[in-house]
Amino acid sequence: MKRILTTLSICVALCLPVAAVAATTFLSIGTGGTGGVYYPYGGGLAEVWTKNVPGVKAVAEVTGASVENVKLADRGETVVGMIMGDVAFQAYRGEGKFEGKPQKVLAMASMYPNVLQLVTLKGSGIKNVTDFTGKKISLGAPGSGTAFMADLVLKALGVDMNSFETSRLSFNETANALKDGTIDAGFWVVAPGTSSIMDLATTHDVEVVAFTPEQQKKVTDQYGFYSSWDLDAGTYRGVDQPVPTISVWNVIIVQSSLPDDLVYQLSKSLFENTAFLEKIHPFAKYSTPENAVGKTPIALHPGAIRAIEEKGVTVPDRLKP
């Protein structure tokens, strides 16, 4: 019912002149589960927009994250979504899981890099993704960017998906399953350090499984939207050395039909209030106009382009719809 009311409010707002929109615009932000970074970041963004954009009332909604957020935005059930760059790339072009169905979304900004964190407990026997045979592995919640990336990475590395037992759990569920011993390892694709892993590490001896340089190269060569990344030592209790892994940038998407002036006001407010968002998570420092241009894999909304160019950053033709 909440989403229906939100959608009706949006539909009414989109039919009104810009002057009237300022008094009646309700924004629903698709985020993720409470154990990741999307939800608190989205809550902070909702507060920024509600306080700083005249007439806007924004709220962050718990969702299944990236894949679900694209579909919600495409259907008009939300107007803003937080998704991973790999999902954005395929959704915008109608490829992969979106084969033949390009989603009606454009980008507002790039947020920060997500880092693939494959977590297990000491003594599990898992030192590499090649050690999954006969194990129980959580690949992430259905519809999440974690599940999307885990699938692409494992296939790029030639891991037999039938050689292990698969679970589809959220971040908090994965942490609890590791505590209970009902799984052997789980994937997180999220900004480090995330609360669900930090909480797990306070009571259990965790290990973050490293990727070899050859594995990193194999994945990044196959998918241009992925990059090599070293998880910093000390990110979690007991993780005392840097851990080589893979990263992907997060993107804020909007419905392509949103009015240019509204998206301009939202984008401008985002870029001018990153200091506030950094108090929620330090990775918000990456949410800049420069990274919106340098790290966004799909076309930007015209309203976002206006806000970026006002900051003195040139938007290349490849990012113009």
pLDDT tens for 83-107 read 999 999 999 999 998 999 999 999 9
Mean pLDDT, rounded, for 24-31: 91
- Averaged pLDDT score across all residues of the chain: 91
pLDDT of residue 239: 96
**Backbone torsions φ then ψ of 80, nearest 5 degrees:** -130, 140
How many Å apart are CA 195 and CA 172, to the nearest integer? 9
d(CA 25, CA 11): 10
pLDDT at 282 over 80: yes
Mean pLDDT, rounded, for 51-65: 95
Residue 102 tokens read as 């390009």
Question: Do 88 and 70 contact (CB within 8 A), yes or no?
Answer: yes
Query: In the prediction, which pLDDT does 48 show?
Result: 98
pLDDT of residue 23: 67
Query: Rounded to the nearest 10 degrees, how much is the dihedral formed by the CA atoms of 112, 116, 121, 125?
Result: -160
Tally Cβ neighbours within 10 Å of residue 261: 14
How large is the average pLDDT for residues 239-248?
97
pLDDT greater than 60 at residue 234: yes
Q: What is the DSSP letter of 292?
A: H
Which candidate, 236, 244, 184, places its Cα nearest to that of 212? Answer: 244
Domains and CATH numbers, the chain: 2-111+251-319 (3.40.190.10), 114-248 (3.40.190.10)
Verdict on whether the full-model pTM lies above 0.85? no
Query: Is the pLDDT reported for residue 280 higher than 50?
Result: yes
**Residue 34: pLDDT above 50?**
yes
Q: Rounded to the nearest 10 degrees, what angle do helices 66-75 and 85-93 cross at?
A: 40
CA distance 305 to 293: 9
The pLDDT of residue 16 is above 60:
no
CA distance 152 to 146: 10
Sign of the alpha-carbon torsion through 103, 78, 69, 57: positive
Asked whether the predicted pLDDT for residue 141 surpasses 50, the reply is yes
CA–CA distance, 175 with 183 (Å, rounded to integer): 9
DSSP 299: P
CA distances in angstroms from 173 to 63, 138, 145, 182, 191, listed in the order given:
15, 9, 16, 11, 18
Query: What CA–CA distance (Å, rounded) separates 229 from 42?
Result: 24
